[in-house]
Structure 1
Amino acid sequence: MNAGPEQGTRAVVGAALCVVATWAGLLALAGLVAGRRWLVVACVGVLLVAVATTLARAASRRWWPPTLVGALVALVGVVLRYGAPPGRPQFLPDLDAARRAWATARQGVVVVNDSLVPMPDIRPSEMLLVVGGLVVFLLVDAAVLGLRFPAVAGLPLLALWVPAIVLGFPAGAAPVFWTAAAYLALLAYGAAPLHAQAGRARRAATAVVAGVALVGSSVLAGPSLMQLPGWASVALPTFGDGPIGPLELSDDLDLRESLGTRSAQVVLTYRVTDPAAGDPATAADDAAAADAAAAPTADAATEPPADAGTDAETDTGVDALAAPGSPAGQDAGATPSPTPAPPPAVDARLVGPLRAFTMAEFDGRLWNRTEADELAPWDPTTLLSSDPLLRGTAPDAAAGTLARVEIEVGALRERRLPVPTFPRTVAVEGTWGYDPQRDEVVGRRSTGAGLSYQMLVQVPTLTADDLRGTPVGTPPDLDLYTTVPDTQHRDDIATLAADVTADADTAYERALDLQTWLRSASNFTYDTRVPPARSTDAVWDFLEDRRGYCVQFATAMAMMARTLDIPSRIGVGFLPGQRDDDGAYVVTGRLAHAWPELYFDGLGWVRFEPTPASQSGPPPAWADPFTGITAPGSVPDELGRSGQDALPNTLPSAAPATPGAAADEESPWTTVLLLAGMGLLAAGGVLAAYLLSRRRRRATVPDDAWVALRRELSRIDIHWSSSTSPRGVVRHVQRTLETRTGTGLSGPALAGLENLALAVERTRYAPTPPVHPADELDGWVQAVRDGLRELLAQGAGRTPVPTG
């Protein structure tokens, strides 16, 4: 029999050896996973559990209580780390946290089964690796210190080596050396004097039996494990899931996947030039044609037409929020009609994102690509376009701005050439075909480093006015672009879309309302971590959780548009890159992006941008209410940020700037600090809440002032939906007041309401919105409050607005 578990100093030494052995065993998985964050987290977790088991062993003479205590500590730590709500810590485990942790574990199983070596280092897979490391340590600790059979500890240590051995991706000589050295140290520890009463012969026999069992299990389990689904059996296209290596865009987008590490490799380098710049005669002809046209061309930097200032509902300029007949659109201070803008600058901003392919089939969770049955050849001197009227015609400077684009491929392995969404010619060497329905240039082989191709892009003069009066169109295979998945929340999504667009009269205005609602920082938060699924409908989960990245934003707008009978699809490609000193634009995997495209009659597929401006830059000119206000040079050049924003097995957007987006950079030491300072943080939180409740919060951003104003208006029974746009709120308040009192706001009160609504709109569209002092924001709210109090006080039986 055993003499009981280890005690005293020997127990501490033995625990340290168990920790080292487990750490060394974890190195066996280093070749199977891209990244090292999981390893740091697992090592910290093993160390914390070792401390718990050591303290429990000092207080118990039985072998099993320390293991039980260690298991409970490990369980609580895993639930707190992987079950916490996205964007905020959790200090005590509860059932909701346990459910979220279980859902994360299930996602981890899917990642393991669907990934190709190296597996992406993301939270779901990290959780499985950490749990595995903790279980191995508890087994090693129980064998060495509880049962006093160190030789048996080799079995759980071998379990960490089985995947690498079976899949043929050994971790290298160093992990083998340290694992073997740690195991020999455990055997030496067990053979030391005063360890156990069992004789040396018994210990030697145990070691031999354990060794034979290890070798036998490896030989017998190898062939069987090779037949199981795992890292070696399913080839899932990667989408920038590592810092090195070629990048391939994913053929399926999973709305339930969080974002991991993005590729920093350069995938494209291109130049944009004006084809007429070197021909003075052509330039003079173009200038004369521009002077003869009574309206300016429209791109991301142009102003609205000269007569747009007469429309009180126009989406550009300061008067965009003025209600019909209100003084804001009629007084002497009104913004004068803008003068015709110069021709747009021919640059990457004009050309827009480069789209590789589109997706139309969505099942409620996954976007899946459909391939063309046949590909057509094309003339490299004529246009390729989804519009059959333009396809096959020569580029025409009178139909839009021409831009020459020369692209060189870097670390991109893709069968579809990235091309602009606008009509363009394409000249490329090799065997390539054209898919007219999807507007894709498809090759038999993937692109490789050094491949170059040239395009002449025809950027149309598309404006908001062009779209405002245009009905939806009928693309080929209409059902493919209008089908909404038959999920349990299909009707809920349709109802929400109708509510968001209740004030819109045209298809374009509905699309713009959807985009505005999704871009609002008060409605949604950009976050690289996707909360665990709560229903079978991933879109509804996103609309409920209000957190996601480009895939969620684009999918939500596309599906909501389909419920409004607007054909839609998803475009996948790259945002414009960063301009280097030589004038070339450099695109890395960090700029992979997804966006929705809607179909309009006579105009074809039109791009919109619901992802927040801090991640995607300004929206297209025709979808931007502040065209002419946003700086024309606002090109997302990796957006001047270095945050993590990539999709491990789907796709990343641009770098996040919101607090939740930094989750993938979370330090593993956060777990240690969380457990050590739980009481202090809780006390500090209570004190902070108390102090905040004792003082009035001042608005520091327009959305804060907007929330304060909404709270004030609710006290006099003026309410509106969160989906209502700021300009819609202005109209709603005016109509409500006219119904109650016979007149609406005027003077400083109306000006304050319109100014605040305009400030809120700008924060939703401008990449760098103007900063408003807190006194100015509070002044607008106070002006509205005073005007309402004076207006309602004139009505019989009306209750004045509280002054707070």
Structure 2
Amino acid sequence: MSVVTRLAPRGGRAAIATALVAVGTCASTLALGNLLDGTGSRGAIWMGVVMLAALVAGVRWLTRTWWIPSAVGAVAALITLVLRYGAPPGRVQLVPDLDAWDRTTSAWGDGLSIINSSVVPLTVTRSVELVMLVGALSVFLLADLLAVALGRAAWAGLVYAAMWIPAVSLGFGIGAGALFWTGAAYLLLLALTAAPHAGRVERSRLASAAAWSTAAVLVGAVLLGPVLAAIPGWSAIRLPSFGSGSAGPVRLSDQLDLRHSLGQRSGQTVLTYSVTAPEPVQPADEDAASPSASASPSASPSASQSPTGPSVSAGSLGPLRAFTLTEFDGRTWTPTTPTATGPVVPGGLLSPDPQLANQPPSAERGTLARVDVKVASLDEARLPIGIFPRTVDVPGQWQYDADRDEVFGSAATSPGLEYSMVVEMPNLTSNDLADATTPAPDDATASGVLDVPETSHRDDIAELAREITADATTPYQRAMDLQTYLRSTANFTYDVRVAPAKTDDAVWDFLQDKHGYCVQFATTMTIMARTLDIPARVGIGFLPGKSDGEGSIVVTGKQAHAWPELYFGDDLGWVRFEPTPAIQSGAPPVWSDPFRSSDQVTGPDAIRPTGQAQAPGSDSTSEPEQSSTSTPAQGTNWVPVGITVAIVLALATIAAAVAVAHRRRRVDLTPEAAWSRLRRALGSRGIRWSDATTPRAAVDLIQAQLVERSERGLEGGAAESLVSLSRLVEADRYAPSAPDVDPEVLERAVREITLAVKDLLSDRPRRDASPSAPRVGS
């Protein structure tokens, strides 16, 4: 049995089929759109697919061996990839040298590493483009092999799905464009390979019918479109859309590479939370809670008060940290597997300080804040928690790592997970840090918090750190000098785009280029602090977020953030600083803000209780509250829906009836269809043969049955037509290419044989077809 089916297209059909496979492949790459930052690489990928399709189609035109075009295409694709991605930097290579393959495989490995370690949206570098191009060319070659070479077009759909797997498995939207164009190319490919081989007359007839059908659809859309749009309530109907839902779960990256640009971060809500005092103080009188009082200039926009007096707000709580990083090799932060020091038990403080661990929170040690969190699209095995000692009440099996101050679990967070914390926020000020020392911690994190990677610019970074902190006499002053130097917009610019690496030290490249985002700023302060013998690490989590105007704080993927934490002895522990410019991070913590007094906790992150008006001149970045007089959303009016459905069904019924009537009248016979029609006609008169009977044997069987019933068989033109039709059916079934026969000739042959059989069985004078009618096969 041949691996090539009878449906395998040949000649011009094969070229059209290859073109459709190329269109489907290019369209399937659109499914990666939501995973990538920008579309700059799409042109190169599409161009590669189109050029390969032209080569394969050309080779198939010259040979009839089914596997040669695919083999030639695979070899040509491999050579092209080596020439493009294995060329020496800055040179065009027409003939690959001995090192070209090594450079290509190195770029391939680098691309896979970037894809595995990066977060969505992924910035497309040259090595990532190589991985994507290899995938697209492989999809085209395999789909073309199945659909065109082997004639199994239906299997090509599974090959296209390979491009959809990354976005689908990560939960990202595909987009209507990818669905429409991939589906259209696939359906056209199925139609092309399954369409019968018609004669010249029938091809023109089918083309005419297709043109008229297309024109009818367009005219109907133009005429009925305004009518349907004018139906009352039509605009209120919510139509389904593709790719407009969730953009997939958000996960924090724990392998931060300073060489990569950040790209556009997800705007999805990863979690929401509220911050309240555990025991809110009730207003002393009605005037204290009146809108006029809260709207006065002296009223704080964060009205939640703790029993100790200071305001409780998202700003005072600070970011929610998921984990910390200590190991840096000069380019990339490497995660450390957390080690459980105990399970998470509600009620006791989780803190690296053994004197506070498992103790109940106390308002005497600081301000208490209750934080109620609800997870949205966050997919993270480490729980975002406050940076201060806190209790954690969370369902499920969660462990605490006191050395790294992390809460982690065996399973990741899922949408709808709710947990609460009571955070004990120490009233830390700059005075508390002024004379603090910075000894290395005694726990397991001490192994890496003073390490500076051995790079070619290690000494240059240390020298610059000493120069910046030359006037400082204490570790805190040195930390403040580093933070001030990095936050200054005169020195650095916040930018998600990172210049290409120039050295083996990403920190030095950042200090020279002076453009970067939070990872560059946090890493640079961390490494420079280590050169000054200050233990430092990087914290990863989320900025406080923004108020939704209803008492909750909304945190999106855009609030993902990195910051340095410096160790100031056992009494103060790890202290957060904020070197990233305010355009992204907002104000620094109160203890490291030289322009804010230690008792202020107002700002854009403060919570405004529901119903409280915003103070005039407030710098709140909360979303504006909707007016209470806004019109409520109306439900869908089903009357226009019913009318529209009725119209569509009526038009479909009419179109189906016309199509059936036309099919009965039209002449669209192929040899196989003519044989089936003859078999039905003779079967109605008792002349039958089984499916296992070959066409040639069927001729003898028909004649034998006629002789048995009427004492004579077919003669003359009818006998010749029967023999010729059987030969055409054999050719149609088994020949490399189907015979090209005018359908009208086949129609006359079937009619002639049928009438002859009828005359023999009815014992009436025979009515031969017109003697001038051409014989089948002539």
Which TM-score band (shorter chain)? 0.5 to 0.7
Letter in 1 for 2:565: E
Call closer, same or farther: CA 1:440–1:446 in 2, change over 3 Å. same
| 1:549 to 2:520 alignment | no
Structure 2 counterpart of 1:178 = 185
CA–CA distance in structure 1, aligned partners of residues 258 and 581 of structure 2: 17
Call closer, same or farther: CA 1:457–1:243 in 2, change over 3 Å. same
Runs of at least 5 residues in structure 2 that lack an aligned partner in the other structure: 1-13, 55-76, 93-101, 169-177, 201-244, 285-299, 303-307, 608-618, 624-778
Call closer, same or farther: CA 1:570–1:163 in 2, change over 3 Å. farther
Structure 2 counterpart of 1:400 = 366
Q: Of 542, 549, 553, which residue of structure 2 is paired with 1:581?
A: 549
Q: Of 599, 607, 627, which residue of structure 1 is paired with 2:576?
A: 607
Q: Deviations over 1:195-244 (max 9, x none)?
A: xxxxxxxxxxxxxxxxxxxxxxxxxxxxxxxxxxxxxxxxxxxxxxx962
Structure 2 counterpart of 1:361 = 327
Q: Deviations over 1:83-131 (max 9, x none)?
A: 9xxxxxxxxx999xxxxxx999977853445646998542227744786
Q: In the TM superposition, what are the counterparts of 1:533-548 in structure 2 within 5 Å?
A: 533-548=501-516
- 8 A contact 1:21–1:183 mirrored in 2: no
Q: Of 289, 304, 313, which residue of structure 2 is paired with 1:347?
A: 313
CA–CA distance in structure 2, aligned partners of residues 350 and 378 of structure 1: 24
How far apart are residue 551 of structure 1 and its match? 0.9
Q: Deviations over 1:429-479 (max 9, x none)?
A: 322222111111222322222222222211111111211111113312433
Structure 1 counterpart of 2:594 = 625
Structure 2 counterpart of 1:594 = 562
How far apart are residue 628 of structure 1 and its match? 4.3
Deviates more, 1:607-616 or 1:496-505: 496-505
Structure 1 counterpart of 2:256 = 253
How far apart are residue 553 of structure 1 and its match? 0.8
Q: Of 264, 269, 281, which residue of structure 2 is paired with 1:266?
A: 269
| 1:497 to 2:500 alignment | no
Structure 2 counterpart of 1:122 = 123
CA–CA distance in structure 1, aligned partners of residues 393 and 21 of structure 2: 59
Call closer, same or farther: CA 1:174–1:580 in 2, change over 3 Å. same
Larger Rg computed on CA atoms: 2
SS across alignment from 1:509: helix
CA–CA distance in structure 2, aligned partners of residues 495 and 603 of structure 1: 28
Q: Deviations over 1:246-267 (max 9, x none)?
A: 2222232222222234233322
Q: Of 576, 585, 602, which residue of structure 2 is paired with 1:616?
A: 585
Q: Of 470, 491, 494, which residue of structure 2 is paired with 1:523?
A: 491
CA–CA distance in structure 1, aligned partners of residues 158 and 47 of structure 2: 20
Call closer, same or farther: CA 1:47–1:185 in 2, change over 3 Å. farther
- 8 A contact 1:566–1:598 mirrored in 2: yes
Q: Deviations over 1:10-55 (max 9, x none)?
A: xxxx99999987443212334456347766863599689999xx9x
- 8 A contact 2:115–2:122 mirrored in 1: no
Call closer, same or farther: CA 1:259–1:16 in 2, change over 3 Å. farther
CA–CA distance in structure 1, aligned partners of residues 542 and 567 of structure 2: 21
Structure 1 counterpart of 2:399 = 433
Deviates more, 1:510-519 or 1:435-444: 435-444
How far apart are residue 506 of structure 1 and its match? 0.9
Letter in 1 for 2:323: F
Alignment coverage as a number of residue pairs? 496
Structure 2 counterpart of 1:324 = none
Percent sequence identity over matched residues? 46
Structure 1 counterpart of 2:278 = 275
CA–CA distance in structure 1, aligned partners of residues 104 and 483 of structure 2: 30
CA–CA distance in structure 1, aligned partners of residues 49 and 591 of structure 2: 57
How far apart are residue 510 of structure 1 and its match? 0.8
CA–CA distance in structure 2, aligned partners of residues 570 and 585 of structure 1: 24
CA–CA distance in structure 1, aligned partners of residues 37 and 283 of structure 2: 58
CA–CA distance in structure 1, aligned partners of residues 27 and 392 of structure 2: 48
SS across alignment from 1:397: coil
| 1:635 to 2:636 alignment | no
- 8 A contact 2:249–2:379 mirrored in 1: yes
How far apart are residue 608 of structure 1 and its match? 0.4
Structure 2 counterpart of 1:27 = 27
CA–CA distance in structure 2, aligned partners of residues 113 and 378 of structure 1: 34
- 8 A contact 2:541–2:561 mirrored in 1: yes
Q: Deviations over 1:184-203 (max 9, x none)?
A: 999x9xxxx9xxxxxxxxxx
Q: Deviations over 1:509-544 (max 9, x none)?
A: 111111111112222222212222222222222222
Structure 1 counterpart of 2:247 = 244
- 8 A contact 1:437–1:476 mirrored in 2: no
- 8 A contact 1:247–1:412 mirrored in 2: yes
CA–CA distance in structure 2, aligned partners of residues 634 and 472 of structure 1: 32
- 8 A contact 2:36–2:122 mirrored in 1: yes
Structure 2 counterpart of 1:563 = 531
Letter in 1 for 2:319: P
Q: Deviations over 1:311-335 (max 9, x none)?
A: xxxxxxxxxxxxxxxxxxxxxxxxx
CA–CA distance in structure 1, aligned partners of residues 136 and 343 of structure 2: 58
CA–CA distance in structure 1, aligned partners of residues 363 and 448 of structure 2: 34
| 1:387 to 2:337 alignment | no
CA RMSD in angstroms, aligned pairs only: 5.7
CA–CA distance in structure 2, aligned partners of residues 485 and 118 of structure 1: 25
CA–CA distance in structure 2, aligned partners of residues 388 and 420 of structure 1: 18
CA–CA distance in structure 2, aligned partners of residues 104 and 350 of structure 1: 51
Structure 2 counterpart of 1:411 = 377
How far apart are residue 556 of structure 1 and its match? 0.8
CA–CA distance in structure 1, aligned partners of residues 39 and 21 of structure 2: 14
Letter in 2 for 1:364: G
Call closer, same or farther: CA 1:399–1:300 in 2, change over 3 Å. farther
| 1:461 to 2:420 alignment | no
CA–CA distance in structure 1, aligned partners of residues 593 and 103 of structure 2: 39
User: If the length of structure 1 is used for normalisation, what is the TM-score?
Assistant: 0.51
SS across alignment from 1:503: coil
Call closer, same or farther: CA 1:182–1:43 in 2, change over 3 Å. farther
Letter in 2 for 1:122: T
- 8 A contact 2:603–2:620 mirrored in 1: no
- 8 A contact 1:562–1:568 mirrored in 2: yes
How far apart are residue 133 of structure 1 and its match? 10
- 8 A contact 1:104–1:532 mirrored in 2: no
CA–CA distance in structure 1, aligned partners of residues 130 and 351 of structure 2: 47
How far apart are residue 415 of structure 1 and its match? 2.2
Letter in 2 for 1:550: C
CA–CA distance in structure 2, aligned partners of residues 104 and 349 of structure 1: 49
Letter in 2 for 1:493: I
Call closer, same or farther: CA 1:107–1:424 in 2, change over 3 Å. farther
Call closer, same or farther: CA 1:135–1:494 in 2, change over 3 Å. same
CA–CA distance in structure 1, aligned partners of residues 139 and 183 of structure 2: 18
Letter in 1 for 2:42: A
Call closer, same or farther: CA 1:365–1:382 in 2, change over 3 Å. same
Letter in 2 for 1:24: G
Call closer, same or farther: CA 1:639–1:534 in 2, change over 3 Å. farther
How far apart are residue 622 of structure 1 and its match? 0.8
CA–CA distance in structure 2, aligned partners of residues 636 and 24 of structure 1: 51
SS across alignment from 1:399: coil
Structure 1 counterpart of 2:69 = none
CA–CA distance in structure 2, aligned partners of residues 352 and 184 of structure 1: 60
Call closer, same or farther: CA 1:134–1:367 in 2, change over 3 Å. closer
Q: Deviations over 1:572-615 (max 9, x none)?
A: 11111211132111111211111100000221000001111000
CA–CA distance in structure 1, aligned partners of residues 492 and 104 of structure 2: 22
How far apart are residue 569 of structure 1 and its match? 0.7
